[in-house]
Amino acid sequence: MQSHITLYPKIDIVLKDISQSIINLLKDKLVGIYLFGSLSYGDFDPGRSDIDLLTLVNTQLNKQEIDKCLKLHLEIEEEYSQWLHRIENSFTPVSMLNNIQPPNDPRPYYNDGEIWQAQYGNEWIINLYLLDKHGITLFGKDIHKLIKNVDITDVQKACIKDLYKEWEPKLREPEWLENSHYQSYLVLNLCRILYTVFRADVCSKKVSADWVKTQYPQWANLINTAQNWHYGIQMLMQKETLEFLRFVISEVI
C-alpha cells in the first residue's frame, strides 16, 4: 500500500488500519479494497464528509464473515472516534462488476454501526463511473482494470432515475429532512444531478454546486448553506430544500 493515499495523513492511518484488518480477516476471499467518494476526487471536507469504501470479494460473505466484518468496523470506529458513523463499506462480489445495471442481489453494507443486506440502486452506475475515473486501489487488483468503461449517457439516465426513485418520494416524507445532514446531502446531490444531466459530466459536489449557483442564482443561499454545513451545527432549511427538490424535478423533466 502506498505511503500517501490522500491529502490527510491521519485519514491515511485509518485507511491502512481498516485495510490490513480486512486483509487479515478475509484472506483469499478478498479481491481488493478501494477508496471512492470525496476523498478520491478532491472534494473532501473533514467537518462533513464520510469515508467511502468498496471491498470486492470472490463470493458473497456468509453470516459468520459478516459478523466479523461488523466487529472489525466497530473496533475501528471506537479507536478512531472522530469517524464514528462516518465510514461506509460495501462488501460486494466482484462478479457484480460484469454489468453496469444495478445488481439484482443485495450485498452486505456497513453504515451507522450496522451491516445489513442492501440493494444497489441507480447510484450503482454513478459510483462505477466515479470509481473508474477517480477510484484509489488500497489493496488488490487495480480497480481501473476491473471496471468496464461506463458511458456518460448511462450515468445521466441513472441520475434521472435516481431523482425520481430515490429523491422524489421525499416530497411525501418531509420528516426525513428534519436531519440537518440529510438536508445538506440532498441539496448537494441535487446540484450534482443538474450538473451531470446538463453538462454531460460528473464532477465533485463543490464544482457542481458552484455551477448551479451561477445558473440558478435564486438558489445560491440554500446551496451556500448546504456547502457550509458540518457536523455539530443545524441547517434549518427543510422547506427550502423541498422547494429545491421540486424545482430540480421540473428542470429535468
Statement: residue 40 has pLDDT above 80: yes
How many distinct structural domains can be found in the chain? 2
- Say how many residues make up the chain: 253
pLDDT of residue 204: 87
The whole-angstrom separation of Cα 64 and Cα 70 is: 10
pLDDT tens track for 80-89: 999 999 999 9
Q: What integer is the mean pLDDT of 181-206? A: 94
pLDDT-derived band at 114, boundaries 50, 70, 90: very high
Q: Are residues 127 and 163 in the same domain?
A: no
Helix or strand holding residue 29 (H, E): none
For Cα atoms 157, 195, 99, give the angle at the middle one, nearest 5 degrees.
Answer: 30
Residues 176 and 123 in one domain: no
Q: Given pLDDT bands bounded at 50, 70 and 90, which one contains residue 148?
A: confident
Task: Record the pTM.
Answer: 0.88
159 and 129 part of one domain: no
Which range of residues forms the domain containing residue 231? Answer: 152-252
Task: Give yes or no for a contact between 121 and 165, defined as CB atoms under 8 angstroms apart.
Answer: yes
Cross-strand pairs, 111? 114
Task: Name which of 13-17, 45-49, 141-145 the model is least confident about.
Answer: 45-49
Structural domain includes residue 2: no
pLDDT in tens, 47-64: 889 999 999 999 999 999
Q: Note whether 230 and 45 are within 8 A (CB).
A: yes
CB count within 10 Å of CB 163 equals 21
Spell out the SS3 assignment of 178-237. HCHHHHHHHHHHHHHHHHHHHHCCCCCHHHHHHHHHHHCHHHHHHHHHHHHCCCCCCCCC
Q: Which three cell numbers stand for residue 156?
A: 445521466
Q: Residue 25's closest CA among 54, 66, 63?
A: 66
Q: Is the pLDDT of residue 149 over 90?
A: no
Comparing CA positions, the residue from 100, 3, 6, 95 lying closest to residue 53 is 6
Residue 157 located in a structural domain: yes
Same domain, 131 and 184: no
Q: Is residue 33 part of a domain?
A: yes
Domain-terminating residue out of 146, 172, 191: 146
Mean pLDDT of 108-119: 97
